Amino acid sequence: MNSFAVTAVPTAYLIGPDGKILMKQIGMGEEGNGEIEKKLKELFAQ
């Protein structure tokens, strides 16, 4: 990775109302259909 000067990878966290980390996703999907996105759709559908 040094040849491209990459120093970090995007990381997203899903944090519950109690402040605990529910999920962690390293990297980003091009389609926007990662595990966190699926969980958010599930939670907001309720």
Give the model confidence (pLDDT) of 4-38 as tens digits.
887 888 899 999 999 999 999 988 777 778 888 88
Both tokens of 12, joined, read: 């997203």
CA within 13 Å, CB half, 31:
4
Mean pLDDT of 38-42: 88
pLDDT number for residue 2: 57
